[in-house]
């Protein structure tokens, strides 16, 4: 099959080369963006008098027909037509002959692919944004139901201080909120229109670049034709945003996995989001959370791969850059799938608040508060720390929790300890006294939930 660019060649490309460099099997997913971009380009060529208005109209009309034929599954793309851009142009020429050959006036595939990928990523970012907002709403709802559910907070995976489940959940809200903001930021830099950069040096035709940008919903146009065709920063930025989302999902998944173990017993996953074992009849495995955790790996992999493809590439376009697509497409698909399944899984967990409280009662999670109690009685903090350290050791050796000590035992450690100690070191009090902004007390978390609601409602 002769190529659209075949004029200076005496031979066709080897079949093996067609198979090797063709990108149609993965870039065909940009057909809508490619065709809408071409329709707008044709419209602008007509309105600037670069091609006759009736030619522009015929091209636009035929491209719309091609678009609907593809939508309806009536078109099969050809591998030797290389990529989505060539496939569409070839079909156009088959349908309207010489007029179709005018479409590519003042345009190169280099600025065309840059346009298509920007348009494609913009629409995917909108979808990703909505999926995260659903997750944010799920977190808010679960947090609101658990404002008084006391659980141990951890450092080094050792019980540290009492918090509430709501507080823990709202930590994840903050992470995913930043992910939304990061996507917005990435969107801004993706929302710049490159058409008119030509192959690398712009074009002599009097194109109206601003008109194309306006019609396609871009905020502005690229300012340098070399940069316009060789910039893939926005792809890397999105791959990085997606990696961070997966990092957050993997941490949350890991905690759900731990919490659903018999050893923790803080939550139970719904049957619809768990799997069994082919040999062990008793098993209920958190496979969904594990797979989300695992898929972080492939998303990080794509980020690394795109960064490495772009490393050291001389300006302007190089074919290497075709390698940006499979990675970013796979990352987008993976993250969308993970967000969706994860949100549904989270919405259906059963919270075992009794076990959370029991765990918070063990492990001396109120030790800091007892030291603070002594500070209030006038003892310097470092001394108080030492006294309570000894108290904890005594409790471990005598298999007691601190609140089980008698007044006489307390007095052995410090004469400053009085009858109010029992009330002062209750877990409830330890939590409710931490009412600084950002703390786990009910009122602080409620405030954070109110802010969270305002954020999602602004979306
Ligand atoms: N399929 C190519 C890509 O994805 C389109 C641009 C081709 N340009 C070229 N000069 N070979 O990068």
* Predicted local confidence at residue 43, as pLDDT: 98
Alpha carbon of 84 to ligand 1 centroid (Å): 10
136, part of any domain: yes
Q: Which residue's alpha carbon is nearest to atom 1 within ligand 1?
A: 83
The verdict on 400 and 259 lying in the same domain is no
Tell me the pairing of strands 267-268 and 350-351: antiparallel
Task: Please indicate whether residue 369, judged by its CB atom, sits closer than 6 Å to ligand 1.
Answer: no
The verdict on 92 and 236 lying in the same domain is no
Return the closest-CA partner of residue 289 out of 320, 252, 314: 252
The verdict on 169 and 286 lying in the same domain is yes
The verdict on 194 and 274 lying in the same domain is yes
447, part of any domain: no
Going residue by residue through the chain (459 aa), what tens digit of pLDDT does each one get? 677 788 888 888 888 988 899 999 999 999 999 999 999 999 999 999 999 999 999 999 999 999 999 999 999 999 888 999 999 999 999 999 999 999 999 999 999 999 999 999 999 999 999 999 999 999 999 999 999 999 999 999 999 999 999 999 999 999 999 999 999 999 999 999 999 999 999 999 999 999 999 999 999 999 999 999 999 999 999 999 999 999 999 999 999 999 999 999 999 999 899 888 887 888 788 999 999 999 999 999 999 999 999 999 999 999 999 999 999 999 999 999 999 999 999 999 999 999 999 999 988 888 888 899 999 999 999 999 999 999 999 999 999 989 899 999 999 999 999 989 988 889 999 999 999 999 999 999 999 999 999 999 998
Contacts for 328 with CB less than 8 Å, ≥ 6 apart: 121, 235, 238, 239, 302, 306
Distance from C-alpha of 10 to C-alpha of 424, rounded to nearest angstrom: 90
The answer to whether 371 touches 381, Cβ cutoff 8 Å, is yes
The enclosing domain of 249 has a CATH number of: 1.20.200.10
Instruction: Give burial (CB, 10 Å; 0-12/13-18/19+) of 312.
Output: exposed
Q: Round the CA-based radius of gyration of the chain to a whole number and report it.
A: 31
Alpha carbon of 320 to ligand 1 centroid (Å): 9
Q: Which residue's alpha carbon is nearest to atom 3 within ligand 1?
A: 322
Instruction: Provide the number of structural domains found in the chain.
Output: 3
156 as an active site residue: the answer is yes
Which residue range forms the structural domain that includes residue 52? Answer: 6-105
The enclosing domain of 85 has a CATH number of: 1.10.275.10
Residue with structure tokens 């062990």?
280
Task: Please indicate whether residue 109, judged by its CB atom, sits closer than 6 Å to ligand 1.
Answer: yes
Contacts for 177 with CB less than 8 Å, ≥ 6 apart: 136, 452, 455
Return the closest-CA partner of residue 267 out of 148, 353, 147: 353
Return the closest-CA partner of residue 327 out of 236, 452, 403, 388: 236
Task: Please indicate whether residue 321, judged by its CB atom, sits closer than 6 Å to ligand 1.
Answer: yes
Distance from C-alpha of 107 to C-alpha of 40, rounded to nearest angstrom: 12
Task: Please indicate whether residue 90, judged by its CB atom, sits closer than 6 Å to ligand 1.
Answer: no
The verdict on 423 and 326 lying in the same domain is no
Alpha carbon of 57 to ligand 1 centroid (Å): 27
353 as an active site residue: the answer is no
Distance from C-alpha of 402 to C-alpha of 363, rounded to nearest angstrom: 10
Alpha carbon of 267 to ligand 1 centroid (Å): 50
The verdict on 198 and 280 lying in the same domain is yes
Task: Please indicate whether residue 83, judged by its CB atom, sits closer than 6 Å to ligand 1.
Answer: yes
Measured from the Cα of 23, ligand 1's closest atom is 1
Distance from C-alpha of 281 to C-alpha of 399, rounded to nearest angstrom: 36
The verdict on 118 and 91 lying in the same domain is no
Task: Please indicate whether residue 235, judged by its CB atom, sits closer than 6 Å to ligand 1.
Answer: no
* Predicted local confidence at residue 47, as pLDDT: 98
The verdict on 239 and 386 lying in the same domain is no
Task: Please indicate whether residue 232, judged by its CB atom, sits closer than 6 Å to ligand 1.
Answer: no
The verdict on 99 and 123 lying in the same domain is no
The size of the chain, in residues, is: 459
Phi, psi for residue 221 in degrees, rounded to 5: -115, 155
Of these residues, 108, 156, 248, 444, which one is catalytic?
Answer: 156
The verdict on 416 and 330 lying in the same domain is no
Q: Which residue's alpha carbon is nearest to atom 2 within ligand 1?
A: 322
Which two structure tokens, joined as six digits, stand for 7?
A: 């004029």
User: What ipTM does this complex have?
Assistant: 0.96
Alpha carbon of 81 to ligand 1 centroid (Å): 12
The enclosing domain of 418 has a CATH number of: 1.10.40.30
Distance from C-alpha of 215 to C-alpha of 40, rounded to nearest angstrom: 7
Task: Please indicate whether residue 80, judged by its CB atom, sits closer than 6 Å to ligand 1.
Answer: no
* Predicted local confidence at residue 1, as pLDDT: 61
* Predicted local confidence at residue 294, as pLDDT: 98
Alpha carbon of 319 to ligand 1 centroid (Å): 6
* Predicted local confidence at residue 7, as pLDDT: 83
Measured from the Cα of 199, ligand 1's closest atom is 10
The verdict on 239 and 259 lying in the same domain is yes
The verdict on 130 and 75 lying in the same domain is no
């Amino acid at each position: 099959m002769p190529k659209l660019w075949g004029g200076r060649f005496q031979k066709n490309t080897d079949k093996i080369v067609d198979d090797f460099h063709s990108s149609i099997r993965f870039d065909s997913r940009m057909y809508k963006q490619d065709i809408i971009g071409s329709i707008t380009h044709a419209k602008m060529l007509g309105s600037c008098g670069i091609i006759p208005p009736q030619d522009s109209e015929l091209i636009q009309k035929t491209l719309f027909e091609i678009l609907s034929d593809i939508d309806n599954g009536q078109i099969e793309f050809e591998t030797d037509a290389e990529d989505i851009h060539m496939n569409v142009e070839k079909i156009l020429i088959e349908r309207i002959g010489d007029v179709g050959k005018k479409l590519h006036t003042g345009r190169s595939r280099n600025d065309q692919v840059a346009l298509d990928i920007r348009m494609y990523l913009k629409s995917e970012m909108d979808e990703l944004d909505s999926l995260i907002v659903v997750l944010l709403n799920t977190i808010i709802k679960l947090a609101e139901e658990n404002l008084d559910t006391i659980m141990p907070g951890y450092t080094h995976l050792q019980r540290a201080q009492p918090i509430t489940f709501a507080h823990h959940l709202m930590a994840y809200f903050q992470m995913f909120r930043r992910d939304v903001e990061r996507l917005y930021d990435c969107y801004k830099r993706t929302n710049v229109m490159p058409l008119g950069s030509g192959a690398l040096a712009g074009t002599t035709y009097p194109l109206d670049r601003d008109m194309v940008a306006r019609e396609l919903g871009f905020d502005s146009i690229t300012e340098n034709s070399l940069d316009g065709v060789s910039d893939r920063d926005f792809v890397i930025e999105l791959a990085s945003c997606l990696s961070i989302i997966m990092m957050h999902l993997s941490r949350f998944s890991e905690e759900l996995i731990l919490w659903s173990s018999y050893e923790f017993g803080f939550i139970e996953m719904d049957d619809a989001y768990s799997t069994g074992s082919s040999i062990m009849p008793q098993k209920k495995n958190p496979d969904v959370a594990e797979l989300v955790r695992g898929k972080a790996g492939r998303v990080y992999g794509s980020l690394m791969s795109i960064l490495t493809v772009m490393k050291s590439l001389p300006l302007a376009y190089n074919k290497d850059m075709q390698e940006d697509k499979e990675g970013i497409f796979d990352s987008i698909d993976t993250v969308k799938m993970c967000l969706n399944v994860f949100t549904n899984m989270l919405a259906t967990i059963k919270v075992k608040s009794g076990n959370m409280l029991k765990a918070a009662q063990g492990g001396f999670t109120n030790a800091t508060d007892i030291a603070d109690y002594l500070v209030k009685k006038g003892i310097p903090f470092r001394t108080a720390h030492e006294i309570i350290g000894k108290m904890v050791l005594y409790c471990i050796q005598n298999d007691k929790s601190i609140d089980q000590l008698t007044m006489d035992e307390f007095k052995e450690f410090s004469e400053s300890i009085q009858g109010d100690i029992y009330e002062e070191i209750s877990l409830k009090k330890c939590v409710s006294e931490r009412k600084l902004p950002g703390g786990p007390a009910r009122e602080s978390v409620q405030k954070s939930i109110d802010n969270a609601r305002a954020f999602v409602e602004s979306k």
